[in-house]
Chain A
Amino acid sequence: MSIMSYNGSAMLAMVGRDCVAIASDTQLSANGQMISTDFQRVHMVNNNVMIGMSGLATDVQTLWADFRARTKMYKLREERDISPRAFAHMVSSALYQRRFGPYFIEPVIAGIDPDTKKPYVCSTDIIGCIEKSPNFVVAGTCTENLYGMCETLFRPDMDADDLFETVAQALVNAFDRDAYSGQGAIVHILTPTELITRTIKTRTD
């Protein structure tokens, strides 16, 4: 078994018209045993940026503590919030620094650029190679399923409500066929003016 499936997770980020979304499952399992159905993998960095981390849960927590400290220092020094692009590069360097002893996470980052108000979505691999996408990125234990769902469901210029339905259905139907993820899901929609968080009903096996 891969260490990436030890805790199990599924997540994706998608671009809409003036909005972005991150959706993630909420389960935590260890070695195939369910521990919790309320585990947090998605975090708000600031009002412009969200990050979701799939992979090994302990590394999610270690790295989030690190990223949070770094972005707070950034804000104190620069007197402004970090932009999604700058944050993605910060994550990338933190991961590439451990090129030969990596953290076992694959992050997805979604945000709205504070200057241009343009949506930004990207993901990286475990050693920090940024993949910027004009439409969607996926990560976790069922990336094949998620790619399939997103390739069929994605349409350009979705509004916040459309984006929610698309992202939610893409995630739910992808992890339906994944043994290691599921058990509830959370969807965050970020716009320049607000964050909309919904938990959604899923199957629980």
Chain B
Amino acid sequence: METLISLTGKDYVLTASDMTAARSILVFKVNEDKTRDLSPHITMAFCGESGDTVQFAEFIQKNIRLYAIRNNFELSPKAAANYVRTQLAESLRSRSPYAVNVLIAGFDEHEGPELYWLDYLGTLCKIPFGAHGFASNFVLSTLDNAYLPDMDLEQGIALLKSAIKVVQQRMLISQPNFQIKLVNKDGVSVIDI
């Protein structure tokens, strides 16, 4: 019932996560933050089993922060994604696995913008654009159709807008608010579109 959309552009990554917290037929709130920043240049958007999601995301966030403090060195987006993957894969083998799907958006000074797709099974894949949730059925075709690898920020935002518009127009479930995060060389920031 939740939606995460993300795409990489020329020198940035954009993520959009819906802000609806709902259960069954009831909407609790429409300003829920479904992202956590893992480092100055990495953010993680998550969805899945409510309860698991925030618990898992903050656990990851704090461990990656701990690593940075201990080693005086920030994990690269790739390293962070692989850490999250290992945690999900281990959790999956426990008695109460986390049912969490995530998108990890990061900017690496050597590699440039990076986006990683991860599901609750621990499948990790580096992708140019992607989505989680029901809405991926609509959104992926929109993105596939119009995506260009070297889009500037303006084009990227326009594409993300059109993807969100498809979700809001065509999907049965109401998702009025989306939080947009921009990751580039200057770090992670929330932007209005």
Is there any pair of Cβ atoms, one from A and one from B, under 8 angstroms apart in the complex? Answer: yes
A196 at the interface (CB under 8 A from B): no
Count of interface residues, chain A, beta-carbon cutoff 8 Å = 14
| 8 Å CB contact of A36 from B89, B122, B127, B137 | B127
Q: Quick one: given A35-B117, A36-B117, are A58 and B89 in contact (CB under 8 Å)?
A: yes
Bound CA–CA A38/B136 (angstroms): 19
Which residues of B are found within 8 Å of A36, using beta-carbon distances?
A: 117, 125-127, 130
Report whether over half of chain B's contact residues are helix, strand or loop; otherwise say mixed. mixed
Bound CA–CA A38/B122 (angstroms): 17
Which residues of B are found within 8 Å of A33, using beta-carbon distances?
A: 136-137, 140
B18 at the interface (CB under 8 A from A): no
- Whose C-beta in chain B lies nearest to the C-beta of A30? B119
Interface size class of B (residues with CB under 8 A): 10 to 19
- Whose C-beta in chain A lies nearest to the C-beta of B85? A61
B30 at the interface (CB under 8 A from A): no
| 8 Å CB contact of A30 from B85, B123, B124, B126 | B123
Q: In the complex the two chains form, is B130's CB within 8 Å of A61's CB?
A: no
B121 at the interface (CB under 8 A from A): yes
Contact residues, B121-167 vs A (CB, 8 A): 121-127, 130, 136-137, 140
Contact residues, A1-59 vs B (CB, 8 A): 7, 28, 30, 33-36, 38-39, 56-58
Q: In the complex the two chains form, is B130's CB within 8 Å of A35's CB?
A: yes
A62 at the interface (CB under 8 A from B): yes
Which residues of A are found within 8 Å of B124, using beta-carbon distances?
A: 61
Bound CA–CA A39/B119 (angstroms): 15
Q: In the complex the two chains form, is A61's CB within 8 Å of B122's CB?
A: yes
Interface residues of B (CB under 8 A from A): 85, 89, 92, 117, 119, 121-127, 130, 136-137, 140
Given contact pairs A58-B119, A62-B89, A62-B122, a sample of 4 additional A-B residue pairs in the complex whose CB atoms are under 8 Å apart: A36-B117, A36-B126, A57-B125, A58-B123
13 interchain pairs, CB-CB under 8 A = A7-B123, A30-B119, A33-B136, A33-B137, A35-B125, A36-B117, A36-B125, A36-B127, A58-B122, A61-B85, A61-B89, A61-B124, A62-B122
